[in-house]
Structure 1
Amino acid sequence: MYVTSESQRQGRATLHFVTAYQYIIIAVVSLLTIRHAILIIHRRNRAWRLVYERLRILNNEKNHRREYEEIEHRVSLQAKIDSYLYRPLPAIWWKVGLENWLQMGIFIATFAINVGFSLAVAIKFDDQENAVWNHIHVVALRMGFMAMAQMPAIFALTGRNSVVQFLTGIEYQHLRFVHKLLALWMAVFGIIHTIDATLAHLNWFGGAGVTQLYTQDYLGQTGVVMLAGLSCILFFSIRAIRMRWYEIFLTMHVIGAFLMLVGLILHVPALAKWIYPSIAFWAFERVARLIQMCSVHLLVRFQFRKPFVKAHCTLIEGAIVIRVPYKGTWGAGQHAYLSIWDPIFKRTPLIYGQCHPFSICNVPSATTVDDSGKVYDMVFVCRTRDGMTNILAKHLASSPDGTKEVLMSVEGPYGHAMDVEQYNEVLLVAGGSGITHCMSMLGDVIHKAAISYSRCSHVKLVWIVQSVEQSIWTLTELLRSAQKARECGVTLEIELYVTRGVKKQLNRLSTYQPLRKDLPALPEKGRSTLFPSDAATLIGNGTEEDLDDLSKGEAAEALTIISGRPPLQALVPSFVTASSGRTLVVACGPAPMSQTVRTEVQKLITAYPCDVEIALFEC
């Protein structure tokens, strides 16, 4: 195809703007990287200071205790900033994917930059328009360049071990919003590019020209390939489809990205140098993910561990308890990705390669499994749903005791590990299976209180479930935690809110009056089914008699079952304002519940020494 000097000049000018666009992205990532380095230095200094002050506290030096508490009770500048950045938007904005003011600011910034760059290149013609060089074609060229400009940043944000996550330290769950936003911009520019190129051929060559473009011209053919890849990504990224067929979403995401990369290289071979960085970013994330399966600290301190281990799996009421031997440590509130590789599942080969996130519901203990190093049992409680957990549950059901060893791999841990011990009081709010995230924090508080390494003296756990059956697999451990909390001087309150027919469900209970002390007395009908024998081995190795003792003892006084939903708008502020020191509020569950908790805490965060942590596990 003949290309005029004017089009060459226009193409070079657009390419220069695309280069400048990359410089802006690099500048933003560089600033966030510097921020990350400063925070690392600050955390290390703060960790040493906290250890030093705790030693003084343990030596009963009251003046230093008072000084330490005064320092910790001050409201930090970061907390004030977060109170505005993460302030939730009205619910109407949630429908378009914007949840807080930080996301709104990012959207406005990307809108201004992308629209500005799209309009910045002036359209000037020294000669008369022709079939190759005309206004419509210029717009198509510009939109194509802008679509390509998004690609390096999109791949740099791809995955849970992305280059941006490694440099900036920002959790991948938070980076996904920017990844999806830039992908949306790429889709918009790509679609406009296709429409304009089609209109240009239709204007100068008619319908026959458009047909020839997409059947005989390599530009049209490679464009169709890229559109097919883009369609795969967009369609299967719809939340309802993504959540229902997650494995298909992942597969089509990879296929779509591959089609777009190959199609773009063939579409304009001169732009291949812009595609290679995207491929390099993608390869980095994949290699880093493999390293996470056999190393504890990625690229920081390589501590080799077996990539595949035999996990002890037990089927209980509505869930599976998985204990995985793990060489290394992890923190409260973290999660990991599990995948099954056992040959016994060869009849269901689709289970291989599936990698799903689960909250770690315990913290490392002092007991080691082998003598080669510290190997702890990393415990997961997984609700049985469709897909991998359903296949595993059916396999375990074939065993007489519902227990088998399964070859698995663990990738992680991921997520921010909370220093729960620095807070005086902690409020945990969980919805459904979000209880597993809060259980690790509860276990961390009790463990550190037992060794006098925690300031926390009061924990309140609010758990919302639809039915009593959903709580069977966790109530055992919660009662055991209440007993341990009493022994180490921690006041533990557990409120279980059952949203559907609690009175009817509790009619099945018999001897467990302490669990429903706030409800009218119910008739006795023989042995209760609240704690069946197959649920007795949730985390410990208890028996049904042990559960009877727990439910009748003093520990059961910490548990209250309430019908309905919790009044979070009143419950959260009352807990924070009544706290005697620094407070941590944690929420893990449905988005509306988490947003309500965040909103209520942020109303108080500038006046009270408190922090809020919202767990994100969106696929």
Structure 2
Amino acid sequence: MSPLHPSTFLAAAAPTTPGLSHVKQLAASTFVRTHETVRQQKADRSFALAYQYIIVAIIAVLTIRNVARVIARRNRAWRLVLQKLNSLQMEKLGEQKEGYEPLGHRATWSAKMDAIVFLPLRSRWACGLENPLQVFLVLASIALNVGFVLAITLEYNGPQNSTWNTIHVVALRCGWMSMAQLPAVIAMTGRNSLVRFLTGIDEQHLRFCHKLLAAWMALLGVVHTVDATCAQLVWFGGNGVGSLWLHNYLGQTGIAMILGLILLCVFSLRPIRMRFYETFLVAHVTGVILVLVGIIYHVPSLRVWLYVPLGFWIFERVMRLVQTCSLSLLLQLKFRLPLVKASATLIEGAVVLRVPFKGEWQAGQHCFLHFLDPSFASTPTVWFQSHPFSIANVPTCTVAYDNGHHDMLFVMRTRKGMTKVLADRLAKSPTGMADLWCTVEGPYGGATDTEQFHEILLVAGGAGISHVMSMLADILYKARNSYSRATRVRVIWTVQNVEQSVWTLRELLNSAKTAYEAGVELQVELYVTRGMQAPSPQTVDLLYKELPQPPRPTLEQRRASVASTNSWHESPIVDALTILPGRPRIDHIVPRFVANAQGKTLVVTCGPTAMAQAVRWEVTKLFSAYPVSLEVALFEC
């Protein structure tokens, strides 16, 4: 519940209730502005503003850090360009990959900091917190909020009456501090938030701060409500409390805001949010409306506090619209249509979507897809929502149209909600295909530059294979063009059923052919957690159907063995795939891969949080002994 201004509390403090003495009602209806009350009001406002200044100062420091990193990144990008030119020159001289300088084995300062800050917490006493950074943020927020609330709240020495008393003073301070969280909460809302724009911090990390400050807003609002109710109960008894909540706009708007906070907090819990995402969105929007409208009518003088948060929200929405028209192209005075016609195909357990895209994107990026096809107009779960999906390819591996467009490839696992509605729509088509109108917002994110690594381990869980597929395509493209150090790539993929992965496995086998031609050793291991533990003959036929023909004998001699085989089942390209039952032993796979690597190693993981945390735990133990880098891609909604 938002804070009560002292002058507006008068009406609630003096209800005309039978049973109250004339003296008490007279005292409640008289607002006395003493020196102590004026001091208390100024203190409340100054403390709320001081809290804002601290948050602004932290964001300013992070912004300076981001500017410095951008400058360093641009310089690094220029060095990489020079390195590419040098490597191409060496290729012409016949030197190719032998010209790279040896690598050291000393962990960088940033890698050490990553190991400390993001070290997974496995203790049950962590209360669901994932790393030391989250623990620090929680402790810092406790120190700030509790310190500001208790600083002078208990020092009220003015005359005790129904409007000004120690209990009510605590309520007012908690209300002000609850309101002080609002600008930061909204400034961190959304994938194009102002804080993300200034600091460069990924949305997935800002979301924790957003939820943390929102939790403090809810907690302080509840304390404000409870204290205000207790003050009313002490001075006017149960009848006064009933009159406050049932017949006074302060109590009524307070109830509306409490309901909004309950919706926000309950449906934001991870188990509920992940299982009922569509319901979470509806509840979140409803809760925000109840809270904001409640604040406006609860204390009209606080409307000015909503102007800045409203500006933050408008900024995020405008940036989201710009991303739909392509931000980078917009700066070059080139535009792309926000609404395009995509080709969707229903395959085994997934929907393959090919979207014409004008512009470039990088490996490891993702987009938000919003289907606006008329066939979904009566389906709110599709029409009013956008969902993030990893791009499963890179433009260098696609053929450009005459108009400069490339096909973005998305592989969407069929689950509940939007993907199920989309799959049902395609199932009605005789061919399992349909053209759908959609918008593409992005691309967002990115992946670690893989050119500097000799051996790469890609660990994916479920739909995380899309992120891995784009990185794999980029790695092989660079290796084939001889400006990459990659000599070995290992892909670990965990799925529930092998039949639902046939199309993706077939694409990975195509990548195995490219890897063999580029001189890169590729190993693909599929772990099946449910259902069949080995593929059936029918699945094998589907898996090897439509594979490209083996290389011709005219290629280099190292590929002659592939060209001489009469069956794909005898080819080393097929040997790249191994299907295993159960779950991968991350604690064995990661250390052995890094320890046996010949050169610098990169470990990439994309999938469920538990798997990502397990990979991070193993890699952080190896930073000091081996030249290994880690990338964790999380796409939590």
Normalising by structure 1, we get a TM-score of 0.90
TM superposition shift of 1:247: 1.8
2:152 is the alignment partner of 1:142:
no
TM superposition shift of 1:91: 4.2
TM superposition shift of 1:69: 3.7
TM superposition shift of 1:502: 4.4
2:542 is the alignment partner of 1:532:
yes
Tell me the residue number matched to 1:87: 119
Question: Structure 2: how far apart are the matches of 1:317 and 1:355?
Answer: 23
2:67 is the alignment partner of 1:49:
no
TM superposition shift of 1:468: 1.5
Tell me the residue number matched to 2:562: none
Amino acid at match of 2:467: H
2:293 is the alignment partner of 1:280:
no
CA pair 297-121 structure 1, distance change in 2 beyond 3 A = farther
- Following superposition of structure 1 onto structure 2, how do residues 199-598 of structure 1 map, counting pairs within 5 Å? 199-297=230-328, 303-365=334-396, 367-372=398-403, 374-500=404-530, 502-503=532-533, 505-506=534-535, 508-509=536-537, 528-532=538-542, 550-598=568-616
Tell me the residue number matched to 2:162: 131
Tell me the residue number matched to 1:522: none
Amino acid at match of 1:438: V
| Alpha carbons 2:426, 2:432 under 8 Å: kept | yes
Compare 465-474 and 482-491 and name the one that shifted more: 465-474
TM superposition shift of 1:166: 0.6
Tell me the residue number matched to 1:173: 204
Question: Structure 2: how far apart are the matches of 1:536 and 1:320?
Answer: 19
| Alpha carbons 1:326, 1:375 under 8 Å: kept | yes
Q: Secondary structure at the match of 1:357?
A: strand
Tell me the residue number matched to 2:51: 21
Question: Structure 2: how far apart are the matches of 1:557 and 1:259?
Answer: 59
Amino acid at match of 2:619: V
Question: Structure 1: how far apart are the matches of 2:569 and 2:351?
Answer: 23
TM superposition shift of 1:550: 4.7
Tell me the residue number matched to 2:16: none
Amino acid at match of 2:250: L
Question: Structure 1: how far apart are the matches of 2:211 and 2:199?
Answer: 18
Q: Secondary structure at the match of 2:611?
A: helix
Q: Secondary structure at the match of 1:414?
A: strand
Amino acid at match of 2:266: F
| Alpha carbons 1:588, 1:615 under 8 Å: kept | yes
CA pair 35-424 structure 1, distance change in 2 beyond 3 A = same
| Alpha carbons 1:93, 1:99 under 8 Å: kept | no
Amino acid at match of 1:478: L
| Alpha carbons 2:361, 2:394 under 8 Å: kept | yes
Q: Secondary structure at the match of 1:445?
A: helix
TM superposition shift of 1:273: 2.0
CA pair 335-531 structure 1, distance change in 2 beyond 3 A = farther
Deviations 1:194-250 (Å, cap 9, x if unpaired)?
A: 000000000000111111112232221221221121122112212222122212211
TM superposition shift of 1:551: 4.6
CA pair 536-32 structure 1, distance change in 2 beyond 3 A = farther
| Alpha carbons 1:482, 1:558 under 8 Å: kept | yes
TM superposition shift of 1:350: 4.2
TM superposition shift of 1:265: 2.2
Question: Structure 1: how far apart are the matches of 2:397 and 2:464?
Answer: 26
Picking from 88, 97, 119, the partner of 2:150 is 119
| Alpha carbons 2:40, 2:156 under 8 Å: kept | no
CA pair 226-298 structure 1, distance change in 2 beyond 3 A = farther
Question: Structure 2: how far apart are the matches of 1:354 and 1:150?
Answer: 27
Tell me the residue number matched to 1:524: none
Deviations 1:144-202 (Å, cap 9, x if unpaired)?
A: 01101111000000011111011111110111011111111111100000000000000
Tell me the residue number matched to 1:100: 131
TM superposition shift of 1:367: 5.0
Picking from 16, 28, 31, the partner of 2:61 is 31
Deviations 1:478-521 (Å, cap 9, x if unpaired)?
A: 11100110001111011112223544x43x22xxxxxxxxxxxx
TM superposition shift of 1:386: 1.5
Tell me the residue number matched to 2:634: 616
Amino acid at match of 2:585: P
Amino acid at match of 2:542: P
TM superposition shift of 1:53: 2.8
CA pair 384-366 structure 1, distance change in 2 beyond 3 A = closer
TM superposition shift of 1:613: 0.9
Normalising by structure 2, we get a TM-score of 0.88
Question: Structure 2: how far apart are the matches of 1:536 and 1:121?
Answer: 75
Q: Secondary structure at the match of 1:612?
A: strand
TM superposition shift of 1:300: 5.5
Deviations 1:32-71 (Å, cap 9, x if unpaired)?
A: 1111111111111111112223333443499998996456
Picking from 212, 228, 237, the partner of 1:197 is 228
CA pair 234-536 structure 1, distance change in 2 beyond 3 A = farther
TM superposition shift of 1:72: 7.2
Q: Secondary structure at the match of 1:554?
A: coil
- Following superposition of structure 1 onto structure 2, how do residues 39-78 of structure 1 map, counting pairs within 5 Å? 39-60=69-90, 69-70=101-102, 74-78=106-110
TM superposition shift of 1:473: 2.4
| Alpha carbons 1:318, 1:473 under 8 Å: kept | no
| Alpha carbons 2:364, 2:470 under 8 Å: kept | yes
Amino acid at match of 1:419: D
Q: Secondary structure at the match of 1:4?
A: coil
* Bigger Rg, which one: 2
Q: Secondary structure at the match of 1:428?
A: strand
Amino acid at match of 1:602: T
RCO comparison, higher one (Cα < 8 Å, 6+): 2
CA pair 460-308 structure 1, distance change in 2 beyond 3 A = same
Question: Structure 1: how far apart are the matches of 2:412 and 2:540?
Answer: 19
| Alpha carbons 2:106, 2:624 under 8 Å: kept | no
Q: Which runs of 5+ in 2 are unaligned?
A: 1-9, 11-30, 551-565
Tell me the residue number matched to 2:554: none
